[in-house]
Chain A
């Protein structure tokens, strides 16, 4: 029998075990990682959203509060200046000593005024106290000067002016004795910056003021300079507080709250970075589980897959070995049965020959009763006939056993079936089994393995004879079908119950309960052989009326 156990794991790309292991690793990874990552992501999103809402609320409250503070600061500074201009006559204001007194007073009150000056309607500095040398400067051509003369008061943006240093000024017009005068003060930009910055101290937000064209009016860090164009650009005018989320220039996202101040000429900005993955750092336990999971799941998946695969592999190998050993014992049993049949075929003519020779020998030894010549001749002829009978058996056997390999050759299927039957016919006859042959004449020869085909016939006829358990009819049909040849082997035995019918081709399945050695591999091996020759094998059975096996062999067997 040409049986091979399941091939063990082969090396190379097509190794089914490696492929299975890869698939198992992927599945295990998915089962491990997807829930972990999903939980992590959901937690991350939820906690980030919570944090974002909180940040937005804090930012909004803070900027509102800052707006009030800054507005108050600027108003207070202007009010001081207005008060000075209104309460003192020009004669007093022209004296530097008066200005010094006022400035010192302001300093004591922690006002932002760093210098004071009185300017005539010609733009000349009449009096000045402060750290800069501005005594001889004429402001007549300056834009702010025109503004004060026109509107009575002025608050500047931060600008360089004659001092070549960023500063902001406030100025108010005073009318006395038919002339206009201007009282002007410089505000401490550092103080304003500090005041604005203070708002972000708690939350870590950048808080600053921009003018209409988007230039820094206060400084929130050393990262930028006053009067520099802010990366944010000009902020469009709007009322109240507006909070928008935007991309940060350095990556990540931020919330940006804005509100307009000082008659819509400055805008207060508070910028707060939104937390990214750092949110997770706030939950070390979650973070730990995530990291440990991410680190452990891949190697664990691999190890589990490898372990399971090894078990499967071992089981397969065990099964293969068992299959092989049972197949071997089945083969030996089949050979044994065949040998017994052949022995019967040869021993019977030998026994007849021996008996006839014995008669002749007796006659030669016994002088009393000589044997007649006619009788002598008859007995010799009978001996010759028995020798011929034995010769036919051995001749047939030689033909049968010579073919052991799966070589393909042109085969007359009907003759092959007859030859196989000849070894079992005696046994069938002994059981009073009638053999009916329905062979279609002029069958085409097919190219197949004669020995393997006969193995299948032998197995099926054997089964049929066993199944009938005594008298019955074995019907053999051979006919051309679909370009090949169909063989039907039918018995009228008890048949196979439907529940067993579906399983009879399974290895190790057997309904035979007798003491005879039956491993249950017979039909599964037949099926394997028939398929190996490119053929088909099916079965039909009715309990009570018998079983028919249908075999079909193609015109050209294709041995894989």
Chain B
């Protein structure tokens, strides 16, 4: 039984693949999606403790996905992770109900720390 179930959404496969490999070693059950649409489809099939979502994605971008997730899965905490260094975007994300706004590149332990805090906060709620 996995300790934590994490949904990772990013349009870059080059990023998803090694992340998935590292998370597996840490006993984190990891679901990956290359787009918002894929993510929503995956959520239909299984549930997660937390979602880490890239902001800049073609099609449905991270903020759009965040809106949908808040509506459809209000119990699922969402962490935004982006390379785009924009304060406005961060503010916008937090206003839409993101748990945290993180900048790429990020240390895996730091990310997992935030994910755990988010999952615990969601459980308590």
Where the two chains meet, the residues of A that have a C-beta atom closer than 8 Å to any C-beta of B are: 339-341, 343-348, 350-356, 358-359, 362, 366, 369, 379, 382, 386, 426-427, 429-432, 515-516
Contacts and interface: CB of A to CB of B under 8 A. Distances in A.
Question: Can you list the 4 inter-chain pairs with the closest CB atoms, starting with the nearest?
Answer: A347-B83, A343-B85, A351-B104, A355-B18
Give the residue among A358, A362, A386 with the most B Cβ atoms within 10 A. A358
A340 B58 contact: no
B100 interface: no
B85 A351 contact: no
A348 B82 CA distance: 8
20 contacts: A341-B84, A343-B84, A343-B85, A344-B56, A344-B83, A345-B83, A347-B84, A347-B85, A347-B103, A347-B105, A348-B12, A348-B15, A348-B104, A354-B108, A355-B15, A355-B22, A355-B108, A358-B18, A430-B58, A431-B61
Contacts of A382: 14
Contacts of A358: 18, 22, 108
B40 interface: no
B46 interface: no
Contacts of A345: 83
A348 B22 contact: no
B9 to A, nearest CB: 14
A386 B14 contact: yes
B21 A359 contact: yes
B82 A359 contact: no
A340 B104 CA distance: 12
Contacts of A354: 105-108
A430 B54 CA distance: 11
B56 A427 contact: yes
Interface in B60-106: 61, 82-86, 88-89, 103-106
Nearest to A336: B86
Interface residues of B, number: 26
Contact of A347 (B19, B22, B104): B104
A515 B89 CA distance: 12
Q: What DSSP secondary structure best describes chain A's contact surface?
A: helix
Interface in B105-120: 105-108
B45 to A, nearest CB: 25
A362 B61 CA distance: 31
A346 B83 contact: yes
Contacts of A353: 105
B4 to A, nearest CB: 17
Contacts of B86: 340
Contacts of A429: 58
Contact of A351 (B56, B59, B89, B106): B106
Nearest to A361: B22
A353 to B, nearest CB: 7
B124 interface: no
Contacts of A427: 56
Interface in B1-55: 12, 14-15, 18-19, 21-22, 25
Contacts of A343: 83-85
Contact of A362 (B12, B25, B59, B85): B25
Contacts of B59: 432
B122 interface: no
B18 A352 contact: yes
A350 B108 CA distance: 13
A352 B16 CA distance: 8
Nearest to B17: A355
Given A343-B84, A429-B58, A432-B58, A351 B105 contact: yes
Contacts of A346: 83
B22 A352 contact: no
A351 B56 CA distance: 14
A301 B95 CA distance: 62
A347 B83 CA distance: 5
Interface hub of A343, A347, A351 (most chain B Cβ within 10 A):
A351
Nearest to A341: B84
A351 B22 contact: no
B84 A344 contact: yes
Given A347-B104, A351-B104, A427-B56, 15 more contacts: A341-B84, A344-B56, A345-B83, A348-B15, A350-B105, A351-B83, A351-B106, A352-B12, A353-B105, A355-B22, A355-B108, A358-B22, A359-B18, A362-B21, A429-B58
Contacts of B105: 347, 350-351, 353-354
A360 to B, nearest CB: 9
Nearest to B81: A351
Nearest to B62: A430
Contacts of B19: 355
Contacts of A430: 56-58, 61
Nearest to B57: A430
Nearest to A354: B105
A197 to B, nearest CB: 109
Contacts of B82: 344, 347
Contacts of B58: 429-430, 432
Nearest to A360: B18
B33 to A, nearest CB: 16
B87 to A, nearest CB: 9
Contacts of A339: 85
Contacts of A426: 56
A345 B83 CA distance: 7
Residue of B89, B105, B106 with highest tally of chain A CB at under 10 A: B105
A516 B18 CA distance: 36
A430 B25 CA distance: 32
A415 to B, nearest CB: 26
B14 A340 contact: no
B43 to A, nearest CB: 22
A427 B86 CA distance: 13
A432 to B, nearest CB: 6
Contacts of B88: 515-516
B108 to A, nearest CB: 5
A340 B14 CA distance: 22
A346 B103 CA distance: 12
A355 B12 CA distance: 12
Contacts of B25: 362, 366, 369
A346 B84 CA distance: 9
B71 to A, nearest CB: 20
